[in-house]
Structure 1
Amino acid sequence: MPLYSYVVGYRGSTYAVQSSSSNFKGFAPQALAQIPDGALPGLTPALRKDLAKAWGEWQQIPELSRVWRTRFKVGDHEMVVYAVETKP
């Protein structure tokens, strides 16, 4: 099973988490659930609940192999998530 690294940007802060999964898209919400409280300032418990509903479309990053990005609103701010297949 591939190892995926998720790099999350929210309100000027970033955080990274890794997990093995057969599908980076389906596992992304569970990966973000692993982000500890306070790691992304402004991501309150109420906003965390909205993450499951907020996902945008994933797009492969041009000219990069096995790297995808999605963007969506969480509260009044944009969240950007990169998924990188770290180990096939």
Structure 2
Amino acid sequence: MPLYTYIATFKGASCVVQGSYSNFRGFVSAWSGDLPDNALPGLTVALRKELSSKAYRSDFVEVPNRKHVWRKVIDLNGAEFLVYAIQTQV
């Protein structure tokens, strides 16, 4: 299975997590629910719940001119949660 690197940013903070999955789309928990505590300080308990409820609603889009890189933006109470998925190893 490929190795994916997820880079999540929220309110000026960022967190990087990795995992081997069959595809990058179905493993929302890698960059949402399973984030270490205080990985993104602005992501409160309430916003984590909102993130979990919105994470599956929209799809990733390919980043132009980049191979095996996708991004997704989720609005959390007016703030932008951005996650990149990068296939880093086949």
Same fold (TM over 0.5): yes
Q: Deviations over 1:7-64 (max 9, x none)?
A: 001001110000110121110x210222211111111122112222213321101111
Give the partner amino acid of 1:49. K
Higher mean C-alpha displacement, 31-40 vs 13-22: 31-40
Q: What runs of 5+ residues in structure 1 fail to find an aligned partner? A: none
Q: Give the distance between the partners of 2:77 and 2:15, measured in 1 at CA.
A: 18
1:48 corresponding residue in structure 2: 48
Structure 1 CA distance for aligned equivalents of residues 52 and 45 of structure 2: 12
TM-score of the two chains, using structure 2 as the length reference: 0.88
What is residue 9 of structure 1 aligned with on the other side? 9
TM-score (norm 1): 0.90
The alignment covers a number of residue pairs equal to 87
Structure 1 vs Structure 2: percent identity of aligned residues? Answer: 43
Q: State which of 57, 60, 70 in structure 1 corresponds to 2:59.
A: 57
List, as ranges, runs of 4+ consecutive aligned residues in structure 1 with deviation greater than 3 Å.
none
